[in-house]
């Protein structure tokens, strides 16, 4: 009886090691993919994007690509707890300005205040100081466009 328990215990230890190694391999692949994506982003940024990076780029550069699906899932589920979690995570990263813009966008169902069309992607959302009061597209933002034109 003791030998059977020992064999089961050994099997469980080996199975746990295989699972852990699988998770480590997946984590390493995801880390490498993020590094490659960051290198490509740095090489391809226009002056406007450099002065006003996309929300997903900001999250990737801060090492928090895992938050991107959270934004999408909140927009689908409208779960208030998820919104609080997003706010807390962004606040911890010092990205309160993005949090304010996202919350304002959620309040108006992600409809642009300036052109009255729905924002389809997270990266279309502007997070300038004006976005705290009025949700709008990046392309409709007069503040960001002026900053990008004056950036050298």
Domain ranges of the chain: 1-44, 46-150
Q: What's the pTM?
A: 0.61
Judge residue 103's burial from the number of C-beta atoms within 10 Å of its C-beta, 0-12 exposed, 13-18 middle, 19 or more buried: middle
Cα–Cα distance measured from residue 121 to residue 146, given in angstroms and rounded to the nearest whole number:
23
The span from the CA of 25 to the CA of 16, in Å, is 14
> What does the pLDDT read at residue 89?
92
Give pLDDT tens digits along the chain (152 positions). Answer: 556 555 555 655 565 555 545 544 545 555 666 666 665 555 555 555 556 788 998 999 899 989 888 888 888 888 888 888 888 999 999 999 899 999 888 888 899 988 999 988 888 998 888 888 888 888 888 776 555 444 44
Cα–Cα dist 76/142, whole Å: 29
């Amino acid at each position: 009886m003791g030998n059977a328990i020992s064999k089961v215990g050994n099997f469980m230890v080996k199975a746990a090691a295989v699972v852990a190694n699988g998770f480590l391999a997946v984590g390493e692949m995801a880390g490498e993919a993020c590094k490659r994506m960051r290198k490509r982003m740095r090489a391809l940024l226009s002056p406007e994007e450099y002065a006003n990076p996309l929300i997903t780029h900001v999250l990737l550069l801060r090492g928090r690509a895992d938050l991107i699906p959270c934004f999408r899932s909140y927009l689908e589920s409208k779960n208030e707890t998820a919104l609080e979690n997003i706010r807390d995570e962004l606040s911890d990263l010092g990205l309160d300005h993005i949090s304010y813009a996202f919350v304002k966008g959620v309040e108006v169902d992600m409809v642009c205040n300036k052109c009255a069309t729905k924002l389809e992607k997270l990266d279309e959302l502007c997070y300038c100081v004006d976005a705290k009061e009025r949700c709008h597209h990046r392309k409709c933002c007069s503040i960001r466009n002026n900053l990008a034109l004056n950036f050298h």
